[in-house]
Chain A
Amino acid sequence: MVTNPSIDTHPLSAEVGQEPLLAVDNLHVEFTTRQGVVRAVNGVSYTVHAGESLAVLGESGSGKSVTAQAIMGILDMPPARIPKGEIRFRGTDMLKLSDQARSQIRGQRIAMVFQDALSALNPVFTVGWQIGEMFRVHRGMSKRDAQKKAIELMERVRIPAARQRVNDYPHQFSGGMRQRIMIAMSIALDPEVLIADEPTTALDVTVQAQIMELLAELQRESNMGLILITHDLGVVADVADKIAVMYAGRIVEGAPVHDVYKNPAHPYSKGLLDSIPRVDQKGQELYAIKGLPPNLLDMPSGCAFHPRCPYRRDNCVTDVPPLYEISGTRGSACHYYREVLDGTLG
Chain B
Amino acid sequence: MAPSGDRILEVRDLVKHFPLTQGIVLKRQIGAIKAVDGVSFDLHRGETLGVVGESGCGKSTLAKLLMALERPTSGEVKINGVDMAKAHGGELKRMRRNIQMVMQDPYTSLNPRMTVGDIVGEPFEIHSEVAPKGDRRRKVQELLEVVGLNPEHINRYPHQFSGGQRQRIGIARGLALQPEIIICDEPVSALDVSIQAQVMNLLERLQNEFNLAYIFIAHDLSVVRHISDRVAVMYLGKIVELGKDDAIYERPSHPYTQALLSAVPVPDPEGRETRERIILQGDPPSPADPPSGCRFRTRCWKAQDVCAEHEPLLEVRTGGHLSACHFAEVHDVIGA
Binding site for B on A (CB under 8 A): 59-60, 160, 174-177, 204-210, 212-213, 231-238, 240, 257-258, 261, 271-273, 275-277, 279, 281-282, 285-290, 292-293
Do A60 and B192 form a contact, CB below 8 Å, given A204-B54, A234-B267, A237-B265?
yes
Nearest residue (CB) in B for A295 is: B162
Residues in A neighbouring B195, C-beta threshold 8 A:
292
Do A237 and B279 form a contact, CB below 8 Å, given A204-B54, A285-B201?
no
Given A177, A235, A261, A281, which contacts B265 in the complex, CB threshold below 8 Å? A235
Residues in B neighbouring A288, C-beta threshold 8 A:
194, 197-198, 201
Q: Which 9 A-B pairs have the closest CB atoms?
A: A234-B265, A277-B226, A288-B197, A209-B263, A275-B197, A289-B194, A59-B192, A233-B267, A286-B197
A232 touches B265 (CB 8 A): yes
**Cα-based distance from A275 to B277 in the complex (angstroms):** 25
B55 touches A204 (CB 8 A): yes
Do A289 and B267 form a contact, CB below 8 Å, given A204-B219, A277-B223, A277-B226?
no
B226 touches A286 (CB 8 A): yes
A160 touches B282 (CB 8 A): yes
**Cα-based distance from A287 to B54 in the complex (angstroms):** 28
Do A279 and B162 form a contact, CB below 8 Å, given A177-B283, A204-B219?
no
Nearest residue (CB) in B for A256 is: B269
A258 touches B55 (CB 8 A): no
Interface size for B (C-beta < 8 A) is 42
**Cα-based distance from A208 to B280 in the complex (angstroms):** 11
Residues in A neighbouring B152, C-beta threshold 8 A:
none
B326 interface hit (Cβ, 8 Å): no
B197 touches A205 (CB 8 A): no
B283 touches A285 (CB 8 A): no
Nearest residue (CB) in A for B272 is: A238
What's the dominant secondary structure at chain B's contact region? helix
A267 to chain B, nearest CB (A): 12
Do A271 and B194 form a contact, CB below 8 Å, given A205-B263, A234-B264, A276-B222?
yes
Residues in A neighbouring B305, C-beta threshold 8 A:
none
**Cα-based distance from A120 to B268 in the complex (angstroms):** 32
Q: Mark B234-248, 1 if CB is under 8 A from A, else 0.
A: 000000000001000
B300 interface hit (Cβ, 8 Å): no
A277 touches B225 (CB 8 A): yes
B221 interface hit (Cβ, 8 Å): yes
Most buried by A among B225, B265, B336: B265
Residues in B neighbouring A293, C-beta threshold 8 A:
162, 192, 194
B178 interface hit (Cβ, 8 Å): no
Nearest residue (CB) in B for A262 is: B270
Given A176, A271, A275, A282, which contacts B225 in the complex, CB threshold below 8 Å? A282
A238 touches B259 (CB 8 A): no
B201 touches A282 (CB 8 A): no
A1 to chain B, nearest CB (A): 25
B196 interface hit (Cβ, 8 Å): yes
B122 to chain A, nearest CB (A): 26
Nearest residue (CB) in B for A208 is: B263
A276 touches B225 (CB 8 A): no
B266 interface hit (Cβ, 8 Å): yes
Nearest residue (CB) in B for A290 is: B198
Residues in A neighbouring B219, C-beta threshold 8 A:
204-205
B24 interface hit (Cβ, 8 Å): no
A237 touches B54 (CB 8 A): no
A261 touches B201 (CB 8 A): no
B193 interface hit (Cβ, 8 Å): yes
B84 interface hit (Cβ, 8 Å): no
Most buried by B among A212, A236, A237: A237
**Cα-based distance from A206 to B193 in the complex (angstroms):** 21
Given B197, B269, B282, which contacts A258 in the complex, CB threshold below 8 Å? B269
B193 touches A59 (CB 8 A): yes
A205 touches B264 (CB 8 A): yes
**Cα-based distance from A293 to B165 in the complex (angstroms):** 12
A63 to chain B, nearest CB (A): 14
**Cα-based distance from A213 to B192 in the complex (angstroms):** 25
Residues in A neighbouring B283, C-beta threshold 8 A:
174, 176-177, 207
Do A286 and B201 form a contact, CB below 8 Å, given A176-B283, A213-B279?
yes
Residues B152-192 near A (CB distance < 8 A)? 162, 164-165, 192
Residues in B neighbouring A235, C-beta threshold 8 A:
265
B149 to chain A, nearest CB (A): 12
Residues in A neighbouring B268, C-beta threshold 8 A:
237, 261
A276 touches B54 (CB 8 A): no
B288 interface hit (Cβ, 8 Å): no
* New contact pairs (19) apart from A59-B194, A176-B283, A234-B265, CB-CB < 8 Å: A204-B54, A204-B219, A205-B263, A206-B54, A207-B54, A208-B263, A208-B265, A212-B265, A236-B267, A237-B272, A261-B268, A273-B267, A276-B222, A281-B226, A282-B226, A286-B200, A288-B197, A288-B198, A292-B162
